[in-house]
């Protein structure tokens, strides 16, 4: 990697401020054979939806590539992608053999920074891809979170929240990456310190469609107080007491008849032996 130049690369100004065009013959738009183009190893985007690529390929077939790709030349007939991987992939699907491109000069650190700027500012990276990109910039380009925030016009808390997602188990990160789990749910899972409990809560989210609030309360004592038994039933009416006494007299057993305000209830029969149980069954059978 080239020497650190983090103070001199104005990320917040976009790609143009990061691209050098001083070398002779470099700086215009030209047609480049797709076979001569290598992917950008610094591209933070790792997931490309096939349906979206097919739609873009259909557009390219009909209208061509409206916005050229941006490349850097790495040898006389070899180029490396700086930005435009979706357009490159869709062009291949559309059957193109060459694409229009801007040829620029950039070092490895600039490539990494430009790939991040290009994707975050112009495409919809998922939260895990953003977190991984932030992590690479901090580790490889030696930015602090505050410096990085200033460079890409993001708050320090936004950077910190995305970095924290990388602490989640791989299965949960994959769900965020595949848009099966919202960032809000993922952040709520971070409040659970135990990894096995995080995975249990994750399964509960999928099975029971838990809200973010539900996940935040995971493992905490319930704040809902149980109702007292007396609040579930109404005082026994004369009719209910009469029926209760009739059953006691007929069965010779302890009987409880409970009824709530809506008229619903239950009858409880208590017995002390198999003989008494058989007697209850015979009585009910003869009724």
Q: What is the domain count for the chain?
A: 3
- Same-domain check for residues 30 and 85: yes
| 51/44: higher pLDDT | 51
In a domain, 255, yes or no: yes
Instruction: Note if 85 is an active site residue.
Output: yes
| 143/19: higher pLDDT | 143
CB 123 within 8 A of CB 151: no
- Same-domain check for residues 179 and 207: yes
- Same-domain check for residues 101 and 25: yes
* For range 157-185, the mean pLDDT: 92
In a domain, 34, yes or no: yes
- What residues make up the domain containing 206? 168-216
Residue 182: its pLDDT value, please?
92
* For range 105-111, the mean pLDDT: 69
* For range 239-267, the mean pLDDT: 76
Residue 285: its pLDDT value, please?
66
Q: What is the DSSP string of 228-269?
A: PGGGGSPPPPHHHHHHHHHHHHHH-SEEEEEE-TTS-EEEEE
In order of 43, 47, 281, the CA distances from 128 in angstroms are 13, 11, 64
In a domain, 244, yes or no: yes
Q: For 243, list phi and psi in degrees, rounded to 5.
A: -65, -40
Least confident of 82-91, 108-117, 157-166: 108-117
Question: Is pLDDT of 78 > 70?
Answer: yes
- Same-domain check for residues 205 and 255: no
Structure tokens given for 236: 């026994």
Question: Is pLDDT of 205 > 80?
Answer: yes
How far is C-alpha 73 from the chain's CA centre?
37
- Same-domain check for residues 41 and 97: yes
pLDDT, the chain, mean: 77
* For range 26-31, the mean pLDDT: 71
- Same-domain check for residues 240 and 282: yes
- Same-domain check for residues 99 and 24: yes
Active-site residue identified among 85, 113, 118, 129: 85
CB 156 within 8 A of CB 145: yes
- Using pLDDT thresholds of 50, 70 and 90, give the confidence band for residue 36: very high
Question: Is pLDDT of 97 > 50?
Answer: yes
Residue 244: its pLDDT value, please?
75
């Amino acid at each position: 990697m080239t020497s650190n130049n983090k103070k001199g690369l104005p990320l917040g100004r976009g790609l143009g401020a990061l691209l050098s065009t001083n070398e002779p013959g470099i700086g215009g738009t030209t047609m480049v054979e797709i076979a001569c183009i290598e992917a950008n190893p610094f591209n933070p985007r790792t997931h490309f939806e096939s349906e979206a690529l097919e739609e873009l390929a259909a557009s390219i077939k009909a209208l061509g590539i409206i916005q050229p790709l941006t490349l850097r030349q790495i040898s006389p007939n070899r180029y490396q992608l700086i930005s435009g991987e979706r357009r490159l992939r869709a062009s291949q699907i559309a059957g193109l053999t060459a694409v229009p491109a801007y040829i620029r000069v950039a070092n490895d650190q600039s490539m990494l920074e430009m790939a991040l700027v290009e994707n975050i500012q112009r495409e919809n990276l998922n939260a895990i891809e953003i977190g991984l990109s932030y992590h690479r910039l901090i580790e490889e380009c030696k930015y602090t979170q505050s410096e990085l925030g200033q460079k890409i016009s993001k708050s320090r808390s936004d950077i910190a929240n995305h970095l924290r997602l990388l602490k989640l188990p791989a299965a949960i990160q994959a769900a965020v990456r595949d848009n099966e789990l919202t960032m809000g749910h993922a952040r709520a899972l971070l409040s659970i310190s135990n990894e096995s409990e995080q995975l249990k809560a994750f399964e509960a989210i999928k099975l029971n469609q838990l809200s973010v609030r539900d996940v935040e309360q995971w493992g905490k004592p319930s704040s809902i107080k149980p109702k007292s038994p007396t609040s579930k039933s109404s005082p026994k009416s004369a009719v209910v007491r009469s029926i209760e006494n009739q059953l006691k007299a007929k069965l010779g057993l302890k009987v409880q008849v409970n009824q709530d305000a809506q008229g619903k209830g239950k009858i409880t029969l208590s017995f002390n032996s198999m003989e008494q149980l058989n007697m209850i069954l015979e009585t009910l059978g003869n009724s």
